[in-house]
């Protein structure tokens, strides 16, 4: 029993201990729980504060979202304006670049056009030169005024040729040659070969120069160049050639000889023209002196008759007075005319440049649209027209205009310059024929002289009558001539 009570007491003690331990433990847990609750409360308070803050943030967020929506609603406008500004700036920059490129292109185009114009001019000149060369036309390479200058230059060129040959510069040998190992013999061999080549080339050039004339100068130039190439090929094995300098001197000699001969011919023609002018002047002066003399003789005769008529008139009576008065009036008029002719002759003698400028045509000889414009100092210019229509042409000339001028040579020269591009003979300017129209000639006279009386239709009487005879003969089957059909124009 005691053991049982002891066991119970022990159990009770144990249980009490356990209870106490539990209490202590529970108290500790309660304390811990209280602390945890405090922490949770604190956290809750913090969370609450955070929640309130979050709410505030949510509100602020909602406000910001509203502003953002408003901002986004107007933002495209700002973006469009900015984009437009960017495009505008880009466009301005592009325009500026395009302007610069355009300016560069315009400058380049102007430069290219200038170059093209120059090339076109050169091409035209070359084509014209080639075309003229095909006709044997030669463009002068020297511009000397007289044949003496050509002769002096020709002498200089020939002296230079001799100097070139003497100095050994007429030929060129590339490299040294030896004969049997001896350089001296090699030089001698080359020298002999050079002499042979030069002799052959000089012979070709001299033959060309001797034959040169207006229609073969270009051909002879080509011939000299070919001879130069052919002879140099013969010296190719020894590397020996005639120099280009010597060739150029030979070509210059050819040109000078040709132009010298042409200048001599031109001077001869000028001398003939001068002599013709002198003969014309002499005839004009002779006519003037004759007219003056005749006017003086007539003046003397009319003066004497007038004096006697006046004396008879003073002594007359009745009906005889009226008759003598009529005679006196007539003699006074004739004396006045004689004095005028004398004054005119004296004036023409003093005005050495006075004369008539004429415009003529000859349809039967030259065809339609061909006119001769010249001058004469004859008192009667028709005398000169008759001389021009002598046996050298088949028909007489028709006069379209006859203009008196105190400076006839100047007027003639002005008309020739005005119509220069219509000249038929572009080489010999003393041939005064022009292929033009009467309207253009009339305009030239109007600008350089003034209004004049102008005959627009040529009579060409002999030509038209001859043509009618020819046509009549053709109609009857007797064709005696072909000239009307072949008449130019």
Residue 8 confidence (pLDDT) = 58
pLDDT at 244: 94
Please, are residues 232 and 171 in contact by the beta-carbon 8 Å criterion? no
User: Which class for 135: exposed (0-12), middle (13-18), buried (19 or more C-beta within 10 A)?
Assistant: exposed
Neighbour tally for 202: CB within 10 Å: 16
Say how far apart CA 405 and CA 381 lie, in whole Å.
Answer: 12
Question: What is the full DSSP assignment across 196-213?
Answer: HHHHHHHHHHHHHHHH--
Asked if 77 and 70 count as a contact pair (C-beta separation under 8 A), the reply is no
* The predicted structure's pLDDT at residue 53: 57
CA atoms of 156 and 167, how far apart (whole Å) = 16
Q: So what's the pLDDT on residue 437?
A: 93
Q: What letter does residue 378 receive in the DSSP assignment?
A: -
- pLDDT, position 289: 73
Crossing angle of helices 183-211/244-315, nearest 10°?
20
Q: Taking Cα atoms as reference points, which of 281, 456, 274 lies closest to residue 371?
A: 456
Q: What is the pLDDT of residue 135?
A: 43
Tens digit of pLDDT per residue, the chain (489 long)?
555 555 555 665 556 665 555 555 555 555 565 565 566 556 656 555 555 655 665 665 666 566 666 655 655 555 566 666 776 677 677 777 777 777 777 777 777 777 666 666 655 554 454 444 444 456 778 878 888 888 899 999 999 999 999 998 999 988 788 888 888 888 888 888 889 999 999 999 999 999 988 778 888 999 999 999 999 998 888 889 999 999 999 999 999 999 888 888 888 877 777 677 767 766 766 776 777 777 777 778 778 777 777 777 777 766 677 777 777 778 778 878 877 777 776 666 555 678 889 999 999 999 999 999 998 888 788 888 888 888 789 999 999 999 988 888 899 999 999 999 999 998 788 889 999 999 999 999 999 998 888 888 888 888 888 888 887 766 554 544 455 544 444
| pLDDT of 329 | 79
Domain boundaries, the chain: 45-135, 147-276, 356-489
Q: What is the pTM of this model?
A: 0.48
DSSP 242: E
Count other Cβ atoms within 10 Å, centred on residue 365.
19
**Residue 191 to residue 170: CA distance in whole angstroms:** 11
- Rounded Cα distance, 232 and 242, in Å: 6
The residues pairing with 241 across neighbouring beta strands, listed in sequence order, are 172
Q: Measured between alpha carbons, how far is residue 160 from residues 165, 196, 252, 253, 344 in Å?
A: 9, 20, 11, 11, 62
What does the pLDDT read at residue 371? 95
| pLDDT at res. 488 | 47
Q: How many CB atoms lie within 10 A of CB 82?
A: 10
């Amino acid at each position: 029993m005691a053991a049982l009570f002891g066991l119970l007491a022990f159990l009770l003690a144990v249980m009490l201990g356990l209870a106490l331990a539990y209490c202590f433990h529970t108290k500790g847990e309660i304390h811990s729980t209280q602390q945890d609750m405090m922490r949770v409360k604190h956290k809750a308070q913090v969370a609450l504060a955070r929640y309130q803050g979050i709410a505030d943030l949510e509100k602020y967020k909602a406000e910001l979202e509203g502003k953002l929506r408003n901002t986004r609603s107007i933002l495209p406008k700002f973006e469009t304006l900015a984009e437009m500004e960017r495009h505008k700036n880009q466009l301005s920059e592009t325009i500026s670049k395009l302007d610069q490129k355009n300016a560069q292109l315009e400058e380049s185009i102007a430069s290219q056009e200038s170059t093209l114009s120059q090339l076109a001019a050169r091409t035209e000149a070359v084509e014209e030169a080639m075309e003229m060369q095909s006709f044997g036309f030669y463009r002068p390479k020297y511009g000397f005024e007289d044949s003496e200058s050509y002769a002096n230059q020709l002498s200089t060129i020939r002296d230079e040729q001799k100097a070139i040959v003497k100095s050994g510069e007429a030929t060129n040998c590339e490299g040294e040659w030896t004969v049997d190992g001896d350089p001296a013999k090699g030089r001698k061999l080359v020298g002999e070969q050079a002499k042979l080549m030069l002799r052959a080339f000089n012979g070709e050039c001299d033959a060309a120069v001797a034959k040169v004339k207006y229609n073969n100068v270009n051909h002879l130039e080509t011939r000299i160049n070919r001879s130069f190439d052919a002879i140099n090929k013969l010296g190719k094995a020894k590397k020996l050639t005639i120099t280009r300098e010597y060739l150029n001197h030979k070509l210059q000699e050819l040109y000078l000889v040709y132009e010298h001969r042409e200048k001599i011919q031109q001077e001869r023609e000028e001398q003939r023209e001068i002599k013709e002018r002198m003969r014309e002047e002499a005839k004009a002066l002779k006519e003037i002196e004759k007219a003056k003399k005749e006017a003086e003789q007539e003046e003397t005769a009319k003066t004497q008759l007038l004096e006697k008529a006046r004396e008879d008139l003073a002594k007359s009576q009745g009906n005889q007075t009226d008759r003598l008065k009529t005679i006196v009036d007539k003699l006074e008029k004739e004396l006045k005319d004689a004095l005028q002719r004398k004054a005119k002759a004296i004036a023409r003698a003093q005005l050495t440049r006075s004369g008539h400028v004429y415009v003529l045509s000859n349809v039967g000889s030259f065809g339609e649209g061909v006119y001769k414009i010249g001058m004469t100092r004859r008192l009667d210019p028709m005398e000169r027209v008759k001389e021009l229509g002598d046996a050298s042409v088949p028909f007489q000339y028709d006069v379209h205009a006859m203009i008196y001028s105190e400076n006839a040579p100047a007027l003639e020269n002005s008309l020739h310059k005005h119509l220069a591009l219509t000249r038929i003979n572009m080489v010999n300017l003393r041939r005064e024929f022009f292929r033009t129209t009467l309207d253009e000639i009339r305009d030239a006279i109007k600008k350089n002289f003034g209004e004049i009386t102008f005959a627009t239709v040529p009579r060409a009487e002999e030509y038209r009558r001859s043509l009618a005879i020819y046509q009549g003969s053709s109609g009857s089957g007797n064709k005696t001539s072909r000239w009307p059909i072949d008449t130019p124009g």
